[in-house]
Structure 1
Amino acid sequence: MNNQKIANAFKALSNPNRLRIYQEIVAARSKQVESCDLGCGLTDFIQKLNIGAPTVSHHIKELVNADLITVERQGKFMTCYLNDAMRDRLKLFFSE
């Protein structure tokens, strides 16, 4: 396991807004939240966190850079998905 990747994930999740975004994506995945399907859109986070689009975009970028999520662009819309490989790495880290 690459300790730097795990450290990057922890660093990204140390911000409360990024942690909340990640939790929303996990919840959408596990519960298949109607408004998010299997992923969540940028507007979902803007409404739930009550922060501006540029700030949400920055947080999304940090989560992508930490390999915690992936993003799919469809025109002007962005949908975020959980990166299962990194989630499995984090589970393994905590189980050791």
Structure 2
Amino acid sequence: MKELVEICKALSDENRITIFKRLAYGELCVCDILENLNLSQPTVSHHLKVLYQADLIHVEKRGKWKYYSINNEKVIETKQFFEMILNRSLDIEIKHCDSDCDGTR
């Protein structure tokens, strides 16, 4: 559950979602990600760090450059969780109170 919370926090920022969407098109370095973002390099690096800490992206260092890509396995795992919610197939038991809590039942 903690893992899912970290993923949701990482994706709770508009800039990180924009960066994540750019990475959907393939591996990029920071200079590619920066293009047309109106953010400084340190700010983009911070957002990439948050996405990395949530295990949503991979980082590969080649020489002095770092290349970022989406962690497809983590995205699939997260997608499966939300599909379970939509299909109501979570392994939990819900106990309803005996009275009409808000009168709408």
Identity over aligned pairs, percent: 36
Higher RCO (CA < 8 A, seq sep 6+): 1
> Helix, strand or coil for the counterpart of 1:78?
strand
Q: TM-score normalised to the size of structure 1?
A: 0.82
Question: Would you say 1:47 and 2:45 are equivalent positions?
Answer: no
Structure 1 counterpart of 2:7, which letter?
A
Structure in which a larger fraction of residues adopt helix? 1
Q: Please report the RMSD computed on the Cα atoms of aligned residues, expressed in angstroms.
A: 1.0
Structure 1 counterpart of 2:62, which letter?
Q
Q: TM-score normalised to the size of structure 2?
A: 0.75
**How many residues of Structure 1 are paired with residues of Structure 2 in the alignment?**
84
Structure 2, unpaired ranges of 5+: 85-105
Which 4+ runs in 1 deviate beyond 3 A? Answer: none
Return the alpha-carbon distance in structure 2 between the equivalents of residues 77 and 71 of structure 1: 10
Structure 1, unpaired ranges of 5+: 29-37
2:8 pairs with 7, 10, 15, which one? 10
1:46-85 CA-partner distances (Å, limit 9, x unpaired): 1131211100110000000000001111122111011112
Structure 2 counterpart of 1:23, which letter?
K
